[in-house]
Structure 1
Amino acid sequence: MRLGDCSHLPFSRGEAERLRQEDEQATIKVPFDPAFPEDLRLRTLAGRPILTWPATLPERDPRGVLSAGRFECWKKASDSKVGIAGSYFTYKGAGRVAIHSHLEARLLTYFEMCPFVVEIRTQYPAWDREKYLSNCANEKRMRKTEIMTIDFMLRLYIPGHGFRYHGVSGKPSAFLKDDRVVRRHDREADNLWLWESTHEAMTEKTVPDIEYRNLRRLLASMRHTEDIGAYTLRAAELARELYATKARGPLSRVLRLMSNRFNRSTRSTYRIFAIAHFLGYLRWDHRYPLDARLPMMLMRGE
């Protein structure tokens, strides 16, 4: 580093350039390659899936663990000693799930609105199979310390490749290169790979602040929706009209025009607008805030 070089400091031009490069890398979409499934990264996965709802789930996954709805989080929110834990409702988790930090809550919001994700289970138990079989043979129980938890176990649907399971560990970026964290993530990935599940680590940088706020606003518009599947046709119709419309002005004006066109209340139109994002019919450009007072910024193409 040269004397007087401040490029490493926050809010410097050097940091701005690094953030720009990270943003460009994050926007490059990569098709899933079945020859290298370990390279799967959800944020950069190419494709335009449309979520079928309600999702049809097997009773158990390949490891024999119950699917969402009957699955019990191995580590309850009350077990947390670090971070802000809580119990969060999620449609894809078929009820409430345990979350152990604000970072996990942030990732949960992203997974809930990502149409690649069909099912969410949090605090998923994983253990050494050989040790488990040895304990069974000797009529011994596994100690709680011998069972690690994966922050998220997702069931993905990738068009052209079907369903697959994908584990995610949420960890602050400052700790990502810590030796203990690296070893832990390696153990998680090795354990999941035994049954052909992939794994990746995500940080607070995975979901930018503006996108997190946008997704929370969409979820707020879906609040108290009991049957998302009943809105599928209306969501598809609204998406088709919004992509075709030449209406300009703030989002509130555009959705008010759609309310009049379909003879619906404005509140109902906002709900359908959010559900269209949940199902994948619409995609917001998260470089821009989702605000009723600002223009509508939808993404087209990949």
Structure 2
Amino acid sequence: MKILELPKGFVTPASSRPIWRDDFGVRHGQTYKPLHTSQKPGLGLRAQVQSPKLERSVHLLSRGEIAAFFYLLYCPYVVDMREQYPVYDSEAFMRALRQGKRLHKSKCLTIDFHLTLALPPDFRHHSHWVSIKFDKTVLSQQDIQRAEREFNLADDRQSTWEMMDSRDFPAGHLRNFAALWTHFKFTRAWDLYSEASYFARRIPQRSLRGTTHDVMTRHARSLGIGVDHAFRLLSTAVSFGHLWLDHSFHYSADRALHLDSLHYE
């Protein structure tokens, strides 16, 4: 499975948020704590970015992880995203537990992104692991051995695995997703799911003349909501797949709003 090859047009199911913990005792969603955080000093670019869908800050340890975050935030198949996900040996964990100790971080393998996907037709949850490299075409022997280990561990857990780097993510998508994120970065996106769904159905049925701000102003006036809230609903709708943008155009509040052709088929 490859994230970038999933067909467009999918809408995140309304009741697809994962349960409290996974089968290995690791928490989902807002209460998840990554094994490594961006506060720890490092040589690469690091960032702590707010996720409206996870309702927590996400710790990103490289430029490639930042690019992946913005793409995955707006991928409607992704219903949970856990960065720096720990994978550990169960026997070593139980030994530490019997001794009244915590398993040391050095005994854990971390996966850059552990994704929970909702897949059609029954929207079952599927675990997909993503390894982010600076340049996946130039790998050291150590990188190759680690990739093989990650792949085998994912396969043992009935999960899929892929390796990506920042160049895999389309620049037009990342540019537009980063701009959309500013509209709803401190929002609880799931609380707006139903409202965003209704809002999205209105957009293709009405005029798109003028700038995106003009379009949002008309909808806000018609619905009796603020223009800022209209932009929040727009961004939320795109993140859940209620709306799909045409990424051959630059998204901005002061430019025209271009929707994907699937809304007019």
| 2:36/2:84 contact within 8 Å kept | yes
SS in 2 for 1:62: coil
Corresponding letter in the other structure for 1:206: D
Aligned equivalents of 1:92, 1:246: Cα separation in 2: 29
Whole-angstrom distance in 2 between the partners of 1:92 and 1:276: 12
> How far 1:52 moved relative to its partner?
4.5
Match of 1:201 among 139, 157, 163: 163
Asked if the contact 1:93/1:121 (under 8 Å) is kept, the reply is no
Distance 1:242 1:210, change over 3 A: same
2:150 corresponds to 1:188: yes
- Compared CA separation, residues 148 and 295, structure 1 to 2 (3 A): same
Structure 2 counterpart of 1:285, one-letter code: D
Match of 1:98 in 2: 59
Of 242-251 and 273-282, deviating more is 242-251
Change (3 A) 1:243 1:57: same
Higher relative CO (Cα under 8 Å, sequence separation at least 6) belongs to 2
The answer for the alignment partner of 2:106 in structure 1 is 145
Partner of 1:67: 28
Q: Identity, % of aligned pairs?
A: 23
TM-score normalized by structure 1?
A: 0.76
Matches of 1:95 and 1:176 in 2, distance apart? 34
Q: Which residue of 1 aligns with 2:192?
A: 231
Structure 1 residues 254-283: Cα deviation after superposition (integer angstroms, max 9, x where no partner):
223322332333222111111111221001
Alignment gaps of 5+ in structure 2? none
Map 1:70-219 onto structure 2 (within 5 A).
70-129=31-90, 132=92, 144-161=105-122, 162-173=124-135, 176-219=138-181
Judging changes above 3 Å, is the alpha-carbon distance between structure 1 residues 182 and 59 closer, same or farther for their aligned structure 2 residues? same
Count of residue correspondences: 261
Q: Do the aligned partners of 1:151 and 1:168 also contact (CA within 8 Å) in 2?
A: yes
Report if the CA contact (8 A) 2:212-2:257 is conserved: yes
Per-residue deviation, 1:209: 2.6
Q: Distance in 2 between matches of 1:237 and 1:69?
A: 26
AA in 2 matched with 1:70: T
2:213 counterpart (252, 260, 263): 252
**Contact 2:117–2:125 (8 Å) recurs in 1:** yes
Of stretches 281-290 and 77-86 in structure 1, the one that deviates more from structure 2 is: 77-86
Measured after TM superposition, the shift of residue 144 of structure 1 is 3.8
Distance 2:102 2:197 in 1: 51
1:286 maps to 247
